[in-house]
Structure 1
Amino acid sequence: MTQTISALAITEKAWIQDTGLDLFAASFFACAAGLLIMRLGDLKWKIGAAMLLLLAVDILLIAEHNQYAGREGVGAAIHIYCVYALGILFTLAPGLIAFGLRQVGKSWYRFSLGCAIAWVMFAPLFFFTPNAWNGAYERFVAAIMITWVAGVSWLLLQTGRKS
């Protein structure tokens, strides 16, 4: 639990983690596609869904450049820029999408906005977490993202079954 996801990606079993990150990226792509099909909002909705597409690409880049984490060079620069982009994109996308989800129900609005607020409150603290706790804390903030994707996926499945 002391090792970060990126640190684990430089082991000989890194392909397992890279596959998981690739599938996680695919989940954001699927959510973006499903949300665009729902058409629940105006410009905020479309921008939020577009940010999810960018987030999917960003996570793919992180998966492919995570072996450079903590090292010098171009790969390390790409990795850290992608991590910063992830922080910004996951703050804004669920926040913008929340306004359209209000049409589905107030609880979905609160859920999406709550995930964005929790993320913006807790994710930056990772950079101040002691090294002995980095891995555990990173998994905690990753759980916020996983919760949002799982919740929106459930909503999309339920919506698809009704139509």
Structure 2
Amino acid sequence: MKHSSGMPAVMERPYLLMTLAGIGILGCAVLIIGTFVAQALVPDHHWVSDTISDLAAGEWEIVMDVALYGFAAGLFAVSLAAAHAHLGRTGWSIGVVSFAILAALVIIIGARNEYGDGDDDGVVIHIYLVYGLGALFTLAPLCMAGGIGHHSTWARRVLIGLALVWAVLCPVFLLSPTSIDGLLERALGLIACAIVVTLCAVFFEQGYRARIHYS
């Protein structure tokens, strides 16, 4: 994509693109570190049978809530970076919007606290938010794979592979017994982070190359 000047649009703000990519990766790091810290603080928490959601309720809920909000910030940064370095057509635009919605869903999940404490008063929407995560983390990378493939073959293959694994593992997680759902949820969390990191790596590289040419 070029402006009337003939210069790629991504070259306008290379440092913005690199910064957003960094925030995306940092958001994943915050989620992973926060999960480890939270499960160390919560007594009798078992990482195989107890879900990450269980960590976001109770005395130490603030730790997991911060981790979720950090991840949401990373998802929103990916959406902004993808909009700035628009590498595709309609499919890419769908991916941009999907990541923005994913960020909102994660924030709502962290704020609603409808899990882990057995509280079912009022309208419970947690399961519908989970369905949204499942659908959009499948849709977004698949929609972006084509556009990103013009710039990075490895990223295209990784995004397709991660999306397919995610799509297979999601129903397995929803139907799994409680004895292993914690392990499956953590696996899904790592896949989500891998999707974000893959995109951020390409965005950072795009920004870095643009910085060299722009300077």
User: Do the structures match in fold with TM over 0.5?
Assistant: yes
Given that 2:79 and 2:97 are in contact with CA atoms closer than 8 Å, whether structure 1 keeps it comes out as yes
The one-letter code of the counterpart of 1:57 is A
Q: Which has the higher helix share?
A: 1
Tell me, in whole angstroms, the C-alpha distance in 2 between the residues paired with 1:155 and 1:74.
43
The normalised TM-score by structure 1 is 0.93
Taking the aligned partners of 1:64 and 1:105, their CA distance within structure 2 comes to 37
The Cα of 1:83 is off from its aligned counterpart by 0.7
Question: Which of 71, 78, 82 is matched with 2:129 structurally?
Answer: 82
SS of residue matched to 1:104: coil
- The Cα shift of 1:89 comes to 0.9
Candidates 131, 149, 160, aligned match of 1:113 = 160
Matching of residue 93 in structure 1 with residue 140 in structure 2: yes
What is the one-letter code of the residue matched to 1:38? A
Q: Give the counterpart letter for 2:114 in structure 1.
A: Y
2:125 partner SS: helix
Match in the other structure for 1:29: 76
Structure 1's unaligned 5+ residue stretches are: none
Structure with bigger RCO (C-alpha 8 Å, 6+ apart) = 2
Return closer, same or farther for 1:105/1:155 CA change in 2, 3 Å cut-off. closer
Q: TM-score, normalised by structure 2?
A: 0.71
The separation in 2 between residues aligned to 1:137 and 1:51, in whole angstroms, is 23
Q: Deviations over 1:75-96 (max 9, x none)?
A: 5x22111111111111101110
Q: Give per-residue Cα distances to partners, 1:97-150, cap 9 Å, x unaligned.
A: 111111112211111111111110111111222212111111011110011111
Match of 2:150 in 1: 103
Q: Is 2:97 aligned against 1:54?
A: no
| Equivalent position to 1:64, from 78, 92, 111 | 111
- CA distance in structure 2 between the partners assigned to 1:105 and 1:120 by the alignment: 23
Q: Whose radius of gyration is greater, 1 or 2? A: 2
SS class of match (1:74): coil
Asked if 1:73 corresponds to 2:109, the answer is no
* 1:129 alignment partner in structure 2: 176
Q: Deviations over 1:33-64 (max 9, x none)?
A: 11111111111111111111001001111111
Q: Distance in 2 between matches of 1:71 and 1:91?
A: 29
- Residue 40 in 1 paired to residue 87 in 2? yes
Preserved contact between residue 166 and residue 191 of structure 2 (Cα < 8 Å): yes
Aligned residues: 161
The amino acid that maps onto 1:100 is: G
Following the alignment from structure 1 to structure 2, what is the Cα–Cα distance between the partners of residues 97 and 106?
12
Q: Please report how far the alpha carbon of residue 74 of structure 1 lies from its aligned counterpart in structure 2 after TM superposition.
A: 3.4
Q: Return the offset for 1:72.
A: 2.1
Q: 2: CA distance between counterparts of 1:105 and 1:153?
A: 12
